Amino acid sequence: MDLKLEGKHVLITGGSKGIGFACAQAFLAEGAHVSLVSRDQANLDTAKANLLTQFAQAKIATFSADLIDQQAAQNALNQAQAHFGELDVLVNSAGAAKRTPAADLTPEDWRAAIDAKFFSYINMMSPVAQQMAKRGRGVIVNVIGAGGKTASPVHLAGGSANAALMLATTGMAAAFGPQGVRVNAVNPGQTLTERLREGLKATCKQEGIDMDEALDRATKKVPLGRLAEAQEIAQAVLFLASPQSSYITGVNISMDGGAAACVL
C-alpha cells in the first residue's frame, strides 16, 4: 500500500530510542524526510548513524532539546522547519513520567510527571497545530501510554498526565479539524523497549518481585500472550499519519493486546 508519505516532513519527538526510533524507521521506509528531537545529542547521533545504515540515502536531521522547556521546544521546531521546510506530520513520543508507588508519591512527583509527560507534548503540539491550521493541512499523532485509560498504583501521576493528553488530543482535533488538521493518538500497553524495564522497577519494588517475574506477570495479563514490539506501534502511527486515514481524527486507539477488556 502506498501511504503517500514520500517527501513529507515528519518531526518525531523522542525519536532517538524506543517507539520514537521505530517510527523514524517506518517513515524513512516510506521516503519521508525525518527530523528527530530528543534531549541527548549523543543518543540522537547514535540513532542517526543507525538509521543511515538502513537507509543510506535518507534525509535525517537531529535537534537536541528538553521539551519541558517551552522555548527549547519552539527553537527545535524552528530549526527543523528551517532545515526541511514546514511540517506535514508531528509525532509526539518524548517524555516519560517516573513510575512511583502511590505510597511514595509527593506533590513534587505529581508536578514532575505533568511536566515530563504533558508539557513535553503540549509545548510542541500547540504551536504546530496553530501553524498547520494557518496552512490548512497537517497531521499530529501522539503516542500516549495506556496508563491514561487504566489506573495503576505505580503510575498514578504519569497516568493522570496521559489522561490529560488524551483529552487534549480529542479537543484539539475538534478545534482544528475545520482548518484541515487531524489529531489522533495511539495508546500502547507495555511495549518491549528500554523504557519498559525502567518502568517495571517500580512494580518490582511495590510487589517485592524481580524483573523476570514482573515481565512474566505483565505478559500473562495480555490476551494475545505477548507484549508489544515497538515496530507494531510505529505501523499504527504511520497509518494515522497518512492520507489513508483521512477521515479519522480525535481518536485514542488502544494498543494493549486486549488487556483492558472494556469499551473505550
Domain boundaries, the chain: 9-255
**Which fold does the domain 9-255 belong to in CATH?**
Rossmann fold (3.40.50)
Per-residue pLDDT of 80-117, as tens digits, reads 999 999 999 999 999 777 888 888 999 999 999 999 99
- Whole-number average pLDDT of the chain: 93
Phi, psi of 55 (to 5 degrees): -130, 85
Q: DSSP E strands: which ranges in the chain?
A: 9-13, 33-38, 60-64, 89-92, 138-143, 181-188, 252-255
Of 9-23, 92-106, 124-138, give the lowest mean pLDDT range. 92-106
The alpha carbon of 126 is separated from its chain's Cα centroid by a whole number of angstroms, namely 15
Closest to 247 measured CA to CA, from 197, 177, 164, 188: 177
Give per-residue burial for 3-18: e unless 16+ CB within 10 Å, then b: bebeebbbbbbbbbbb
Per-residue pLDDT of 220-249, as tens digits, reads 888 999 989 999 999 999 999 999 999 999
DSSP assignment, residue 104?
A: G
- Tell me the C-alpha to C-alpha distance, in Å, between residue 235 and each of 26, 116, 257: 7, 25, 15
CA atoms within 13 A on the CB side of 189: 21
